[in-house]
Structure 1
Amino acid sequence: MRFMMVVKATQDSEAGVMPSQELIEAMQRYNEELVKAGVLLAADGLHASSNGIRISYPEPKGKPKIVDGPFTESKEIIAGYTLIEVKSREEAIEWALRMPDPHGFGEGQIELRQVFEAPDLMQDPETLVKEAMLREEMKRLNQS
């Protein structure tokens, strides 16, 4: 089971305030624990939404609409993520509870979301085979 720990933005992260050295070191220790446990797939922080682009589809089959950041509601903005693969929802919760306060000021918020697996979304055997082949190709290219 894959889970994404979504770190929500704050006013400081949206203003470009960088994390303290202490917080960076705490996150590195946490990521090292995830690596040693063999559950870490990816972990990254994101630039402020002022550098972002939002693409929306306001009409069915219509042209996409492009809006440059910044975006207003910081509680809905993502500041970073950690992607893990674990055996259960409970294990994902345990790992999320061990993450240091992502902003270091008592303002951190982590949203834990399970990632869909291909069989959860696709029932057609041919489509599942195509998806598996695509994932294998991605792995091969990433290992090159």
Structure 2
Amino acid sequence: MRFMMIVKATTDSEAGVLPSDELIAAMQKYNEEMIKAGVLLAADGLQPSSTGIRISYPEPGGKPKVVDGPFTEAKEMIAGYTLIEVKSREEAIEWALRMPDPHGFGQGEIELRQVFEFEELTDNAETQEKEAVLRQEIEGQRRG
């Protein structure tokens, strides 16, 4: 089971305030623990929404609309993410609870969401096979 720990933005992260050296060290230690446990797939911080681009689809079949950031409502923004693969929802919660306060000022908020496995989205065998081939190609590109 894959889960994404979504770190919510704060007014500081949206203002581009960088994490302290202490927070970076704590996050590195946390990531090392997840690597040793074999659960970490990816972990990254995101730049503020002022550097972001939002693409929306206001009409079915219509042309996409492109809007440059910044965006409002820091509570709805994402400052970073960690992607893990674990055996259960409970294990995902345990790892999320171990994450240091992601902003270091008592403002951190983490949303934990399970990732759909492709097989859960369709029972069409041909579509599932195409997806498996695509994922193998992606993995091959990563390995070089």
Q: Given the two structures, how large is their TM-score scaled by the length of structure 1?
A: 0.99
Q: Please give the alpha-carbon distance, in whole angstroms, between the structure 1 residues aligned to 2:62 and 2:138.
A: 31
Deviation >4 Å, runs of 4+: none
Q: Please give the alpha-carbon distance, in whole angstroms, between the structure 1 residues aligned to 2:101 and 2:95.
A: 13
Q: Please give the alpha-carbon distance, in whole angstroms, between the structure 2 residues aligned to 1:2 and 1:139.
A: 17
Amino acid aligned to 2:39: V
| Counterpart position of 1:141 | 141
| Counterpart position of 1:37 | 37
| Counterpart position of 1:66 | 66
Amino acid aligned to 1:6: I
| Counterpart position of 1:24 | 24
Amino acid aligned to 1:90: E
Q: How many residues align?
A: 144
Aligned residue for 1:138, secondary structure, equals helix
The CA deviation at 1:42 is: 0.2
Amino acid aligned to 1:9: A
| Counterpart position of 1:109 | 109
Q: Please give the alpha-carbon distance, in whole angstroms, between the structure 1 residues aligned to 2:119 and 2:71.
A: 34
Amino acid aligned to 2:60: P
User: What's the Cα RMSD here?
Assistant: 0.4
The CA deviation at 1:122 is: 1.4
Q: Given the two structures, how large is their TM-score scaled by the length of structure 2?
A: 0.99
Q: Which runs of 5+ in 1 are unaligned?
A: none
Q: Give me the identity figure in percent.
A: 76
Q: Which runs of 5+ in 2 are unaligned?
A: none
| Equivalences for residues 5-20 of structure 1 within 5 A | 5-20=5-20
For 1:7-32, what per-residue CA distance to the aligned partner results, in whole angstroms no more than 9, with x for missing partners? 00000000000000000000000000
Aligned residue for 1:59, secondary structure, equals coil
Aligned residue for 1:13, secondary structure, equals helix
Amino acid aligned to 1:113: R
Aligned residue for 2:81, secondary structure, equals strand
Q: Please give the alpha-carbon distance, in whole angstroms, between the structure 1 residues aligned to 2:86 and 2:52.
A: 31
Q: Please give the alpha-carbon distance, in whole angstroms, between the structure 2 residues aligned to 1:29 and 1:136.
A: 31
